[in-house]
Amino acid sequence: MLRKVISRRIIAEREEELPLSTMGELIKIAEENKGIISLGPGEPDFNTPKHIINFACKKLREGYTHYSSPAGRHGLREAIAKKLRKNNKIDVSPDQVIVTAGSTEAILLALMCTTDPGEGVLLPDPGFLAYRPTVETLSGMPLCVPHYEDAGFQFEVEEARKAILPEKTNVLIINSPSNPTGVVYKKKTLEKIADFACEYDLLIISDEAYERLVYGGEKHVSIGSLNGMENRVLTLHTFSKTYAMPGFRVGYAAGPECLINAMKKLHLYTTVCAPTISQEAALAALKGPQGCVSKMVKEYDRRRKLITERLNDIPGISCIEPRGAFYAFPNISSFGMKSFDFTMWLLKNARVATTPGTEFGKLGEGYVRCSFATSYEKINTAMDRVEKATKVLNKRKKKTR
């Protein structure tokens, strides 16, 4: 019998309604065209430090190829709790930690455990591109907190007050250092956010993926370390950025035990556990020498200075100084083009790939994200090309005046 092909609709509305990301398309174009310099990557260009790789290889040979408990391996959770106490001033026990497949999975588990259909989640705009679709997939209601360049892209409590639906909102997501703006929230800003969360009785999900990537004397402060916040904050960290190991897929969440327990319960039905071998690699990262991190941060800093200076020297472009993560978020609105069109124009005319600001929310219109997780030399050449190509746009501007 000839079996007929399936004709019913198999894709759920929930998925169909998700906006298409242009990132995949842009990365593909950049990869397929050898001459293009990509300032697109959201991952370190460094290789994972050798001692981490060697340890992981050894453990693989020793047979660490089985599931771990959904919470994560006890030794790793102990090391994480110790690190949180020492570096982040967050006092948690290993039972208040869950190891996840990257912090992306921690975001998903946390939102699944806290957000019922129709409930509001406050999130930054512009902000990391996974927040909004994750809330939408869960039939929650994304409530965007605008972050304006005029305010240095800092969180403004007044904006959150305008965005909140007090009766329907349980969760506030913050992200510092920020992807895509590179901004680090000041301690006094965090204090205000903490007061706001108490006023509206909100849980804070604090995504600190770039906690170690701060520059120019900037200090990263975990909001979970502030007075009285220990039970109100779920802190998310990852090994992807600090130790250049995004492909290992390992991150963690720490916070109130009831929420961590709920996440552990759900973990069994999502991925069961973070890859066991990656958990071993993460342990090596935490316990091993930290010089590799300082070395990478020093190099990111050198590139950060270069890209900020070069962008600000280009007529028509202005860029506030990123103090964290590895992104510059220049304002290109003077060219009178939509972010997406400008990105495509740059790709064609300068052979430089950037990410349209609108990938990160409506307020990303007028901006592009330039990653400096690429070599100093490539950044310099990319800036030469952008400078040369945009001369045409500046000339056009003069003519139309």
Ligand X SMILES: Cc1ncc(COP(=O)(O)O)c(C=O)c1O
Give the interface with ligand X as residue ranges (CB under 6 A). Answer: 42, 102-104, 128, 175, 179, 207, 209, 238, 240, 246, 251
CB of 131 to ligand X, least distance (A): 9
3-class secondary structure, 214? strand
Task: Give the span between the Cα atoms of 342 and 338, in whole angstroms.
Answer: 6
Backbone phi and psi for residue 213, each to the nearest 5 degrees, phi listed first: -95, 80
Q: Is the CB of 114 or the CB of 278 nearer to ligand X? A: 278
Q: Is the CB of 146 or the CB of 251 nearer to ligand X? A: 251
CB of 102 to ligand X, least distance (A): 3
Q: Is the CB of 355 or the CB of 390 nearer to ligand X? A: 355
CB of 396 to ligand X, least distance (A): 35
Q: Is the CB of 142 or the CB of 251 nearer to ligand X? A: 251
Whether residue 109 contacts residue 266, with contact meaning beta carbons closer than 8 Å, is answered with: yes
Largest CA distance in the chain: 72
Q: Is the CB of 103 or the CB of 189 nearer to ligand X? A: 103
CB of 64 to ligand X, least distance (A): 21
3-class secondary structure, 352? strand
Burial degree of 136 (CB within 10 A; 0-12, 13-18, 19+): middle
Q: Is the CB of 97 or the CB of 386 nearer to ligand X? A: 97
Q: In what helix (H) or strand (E) does residue 251 lie, and over which residues does it extend?
A: strand 251-254
Indicate the residue whose CB is closest to ligand X.
102
CB of 137 to ligand X, least distance (A): 16
Over its C-alpha atoms, the chain yields an Rg (Å, rounded) of 22
Strand ranges inside 279-398, DSSP E: 327-328, 352-353, 355-356, 368-371
CB of 205 to ligand X, least distance (A): 10
